[in-house]
Structure 1
Amino acid sequence: MFDPTPIVDTIATAALFLSLAGAAAVSIIAYLRPRALFVWIAAGALAVALMCASALSTSVADGFGPLLTVLALTIAVFGGSPAAGTALQLAMGASVAPGLHGGILITSKPTTDAERQGLVAAPTQEVLRGGRVIGILERIAAAGSIVAGFPEALAIIVAVKGVGRFTELEAAEARERFIIGTLASLIWACAAGLVVHLAVR
């Protein structure tokens, strides 16, 4: 009796590599030239890669594991930042001004009587500085933990990031951006890592 499984696996493997390579290429473009369209294209290609990886009846050949991992980490690192930016834009628009060091400018709590009465504007301060670098490290760690089959590490990643940002989350704007940006970044990185985990299982 004819068994179509090898043919299906061959097609799924080819589609997996093509979609993953496409997602990696568009993720790099989205990182260099942030546009929501590029993020959606990369997200679509990543979704196709996830479906192909889950459709495989056996794992891909051992020699292809490192290539899949490199592609997935590329997607996680480069695509996560524009993905988080797109999520923030959808959720909050341009409601806060960007700072000079990658953070956002928020108004400090009034400390003088004049500031409390609205006679003098309260000073602004930049919070969530260095978010791009922190995001890159976070996504490398998240995708790597999924590839390695150790998702428990995600709790450590979130805890370290939360503790490091704790003192900056007093303002509502900072809390909202932190939650939305972190979740979008982690979901993106975990999806990229999950492709490899499913393909080499």
Structure 2
Amino acid sequence: MFDPTAVTNAIASIILFIALAGAAAFSVLAHLRYRGVFVWIAAGAIVIALLSASALTAPAPAGFGPLATALAFTAAVFGGSPAAATALRLAMGSSVAPGLHGGIIVSEKAVTSDERQGLVAAPKREVLRGGLVIGFLERIAAAGSIIAGFPEGLAIVIAVKGVGRFTELEAPEARERFIIGTLASLIWACAASLVVSIAVH
């Protein structure tokens, strides 16, 4: 007997799988070789995956869970860094000089009158070093928390990162970069991992 619900679920599951595979592939591509278009394609694929997961009227087929989890986790972890870079470019442009160790170059807090007038170069320092590695770890923790059904873990991730970076946030450009980059990274990781939470649980 024809069952429209089963057909709808089958179609939604297929679209969900294709979208997750595309999101994972383009997230890895964007990480390995940054291109804004890769980020937007991956973001679109995540949106399609979320819509497909929401369209399911029954849990995804048996065996789909581990595969969906692997694809969503890959998209969450690898796509967050390019997503944060895209958000920072949109918000800040190229007004902040990058450092040699993954941070940004800012002026020291105390600036003399000569430095303010441009007669003498103000001393510089690099802040927010190691952002790439920290970003990976935060997305692994965030995605793992969502997939495991423990969203409260996000509060721990944000608290640990905030405390660890607190002393580096004196400069306004550092604060802006920290907030924009962290939010973009976490939103990406949460959106990708939420697909699994909706489709499987």
TM class, shorter-length: over 0.9
Q: Give the secondary structure class of the aligned counterpart of 1:106.
A: strand
Q: Give the secondary structure class of the aligned counterpart of 1:110.
A: coil
What residue is the counterpart of 1:120 in the other structure?
Answer: 120
Does 2:14 correspond to 1:18?
no
Q: Give the secondary structure class of the aligned counterpart of 2:94.
A: coil
C-alpha distance in 1, partners of 2:15/2:116? Answer: 61
Deviations 1:78-125 (A, max 9, x none): 110000000000000001110000000001122667546754322110
What residue is the counterpart of 2:64 in the other structure?
Answer: 64
C-alpha distance in 2, partners of 1:104/1:48? Answer: 35
2:31/2:78 contact within 8 Å kept: yes
What residue is the counterpart of 2:150 in the other structure?
Answer: 150
1:110/1:116 contact within 8 Å kept: no
2:109/2:170 contact within 8 Å kept: no
Code of the aligned partner of 2:9: D
- Go from structure 1 to structure 2 and tell me whether the alpha carbon gap of 1:93 and 1:84 turns closer, same or farther (over 3 Å shift): same
C-alpha distance in 1, partners of 2:118/2:86? Answer: 34
- Residues 15-94 of structure 1: matches in 2 within 5 Å? 15-94=15-94
Residue 33 of structure 1, CA deviation: 1.1
Q: Give the secondary structure class of the aligned counterpart of 1:98.
A: coil
Q: Cα RMSD between the aligned structures?
A: 1.5
C-alpha distance in 2, partners of 1:2/1:28? Answer: 40
Count of residues in Structure 1 that have an aligned counterpart in Structure 2: 201
What residue is the counterpart of 1:172 in the other structure?
Answer: 172
Code of the aligned partner of 2:89: Q
What residue is the counterpart of 1:159 in the other structure?
Answer: 159
Residue 58 of structure 1, CA deviation: 1.2
C-alpha distance in 1, partners of 2:113/2:93? Answer: 32
1:115/1:122 contact within 8 Å kept: yes
Sequence identity, in percent? 72
Gaps of 5+ in 2: none
Gaps of 5+ in 1: none
Residue 77 of structure 1, CA deviation: 1.1
Does 2:107 correspond to 1:104?
no
C-alpha distance in 1, partners of 2:111/2:36? Answer: 40
1:97/1:105 contact within 8 Å kept: yes
C-alpha distance in 1, partners of 2:129/2:62? Answer: 41
Deviations 1:128-154 (A, max 9, x none): 000000000100111111111111111
C-alpha distance in 1, partners of 2:63/2:152? Answer: 27
C-alpha distance in 1, partners of 2:101/2:133? Answer: 11
Code of the aligned partner of 2:46: L
What residue is the counterpart of 1:138 in the other structure?
Answer: 138
Code of the aligned partner of 1:197: S
